[in-house]
Amino acid sequence: MFKFITTKPLWANILAAIGLVLLLILLFFGSLDWITGFGKSEKVPGVVGQNASAAQKILEDKGFHVALQDSVYVDSIAKLAVVKQSPEPDAIVKKGRTIYLTINRSIPPMVEMPNLIGFSIRSAEMYLQSLGLKLGIINYKPDIARNAVLEQSIKDVAVKAGTKISLGTAVDLVLGSGVGGGEMEVPNLIGLTVNESKSWLSSLSLNFGSVIPVGAITDTGAAFVVKQNPEPYVEPTPGQKSANKIRSGQLLDIYISAVAPVKDSLSKPVNQ
C-alpha cells in the first residue's frame, strides 16, 4: 500500500487526500439528519391534572421518555396527579425527548402546629400561610385584647403548639372582640374552686388574669379562691358597701389556696 503511494507523484497524493476529506465531509453532513433526528419532531401533549400513570402512557405512546422530576403537595388537585411538566404542553420537540413531570403527593407532609396565642389576626394568617396551613373559621368573644388570638383549634378540638398536623389543614381561631360596652356586677368568687370560677366567668364573658397561689397547691383546679381583684364590693364611705362594676372582656386576678376561706355571713351570697 505504501509503495502504491510513494510511486505516485506528490500532486496526485495531495489531490487524493483532498478528495478523501471532501468525501468524509459529505458523508458526515449527509447522515447528520439521521444522527440528530432532524425533521422528526413532535408536539408535547398536555398531561397536567392527569393521573401520573395515565400521563406516562400518553407520553410514551407519542415516543417520549418520562422521568419524575419532583413531588409537591397541593390539596386542591387529585392525589398523584401531574402538577407540572417540562417541556410545557404544545411545545415542539424532537421525538424521543425526556419529559419531566412534577407529581402531587398522595400523603400530605406533616408540620408542627404553631403557637398563635396573642398574635394579631393578620400576623396569625401570614404565619399559617408560611407553614402551608390555612385560616379556618374565626369566632369572637369579649376580651380586652381586641383581634388577638385567644384560642386555636381544629374541628372544635383545641390543638397545642408542637402537635403534628397535615399540611393544608384549616386552623380555627377565637379572637378577642374588645371590652364589652355593658357593665355588670363583679362576680363574687370567694370560696369557689378554680374550676367553678372559670366556668362561671366564661358564662359572663369574663376571664382570669393572674392566678396567684397562696401556699402549696397540688391541684390548681380544686384550689379555692381566697381573694380577688377587683373585689365584688366597694366601700365609698365606711360601713356602706355597694356592688363593684366590671365590663365583658375584662380580667379578674385571683389568689388561690388549698384551704377553703372562712365565709363572711354578711357578704353577698356566691353566684348572686
Is omega for the bond preceding 230 within 30 degrees of 0, making it cis? yes
Query: pLDDT tens for residues 214-240?
Result: 999 999 999 999 999 999 988 877 778
DSSP conformation letters of 236-250: EETTEEEE-EEETT-
Look up residue 65 and give its amino acid: H
Q: 241 is written with which cell numbers?
A: 358597701
What domains can be seen in the chain, in order of their start residue? 41-104 (3.30.10.20), 110-176 (3.30.10.20), 183-257 (3.30.10.20)
pLDDT at position 263, please? 66
Please count the other Cβ atoms lying within 10 Å of the Cβ belonging to residue 177: 19
Q: How far apart are CA 35 and CA 166, in angstroms?
A: 50
pLDDT at position 21, please? 78
Q: How far apart are CA 208 and CA 227, in angstroms?
A: 13
The better pLDDT of the pair 5, 164 is held by 164
Q: Confidence class of residue 6 from pLDDT cuts 50, 70 and 90?
A: low
Nearest to 259 by CA among 228, 224, 227: 224
pLDDT at position 265, please? 44
The better pLDDT of the pair 236, 175 is held by 175
pLDDT at position 36, please? 53
Percentage of residues of the chain with pLDDT beyond 70: 85
Q: How far out from the chain centre does Cα 119 lie?
A: 15
Q: Confidence class of residue 135 from pLDDT cuts 50, 70 and 90?
A: very high
Query: pLDDT tens for residues 99-126?
Result: 999 999 988 899 999 999 999 999 999 9
Residue pair 61/95 in contact by the 8 Å Cβ criterion: no
Output the average pLDDT for the chain: 84
Q: How far apart are CA 88 and CA 42, in angstroms?
A: 13
- pLDDT, average across residues 137-144: 81
Q: 223 is written with which cell numbers?
A: 384550689
- pLDDT, average across residues 137-162: 87
pLDDT at position 106, please? 87
Burial of 138 (0-12, 13-18, 19+ CB in 10 A): middle
Query: pLDDT tens for residues 63-90?
Result: 899 999 888 888 888 999 999 999 999 8
Rounded to a whole number of angstroms, the CA Rg of the chain reads 40
- pLDDT, average across residues 52-61: 93
225 DSSP β-pair partners = 256
- pLDDT, average across residues 94-98: 87
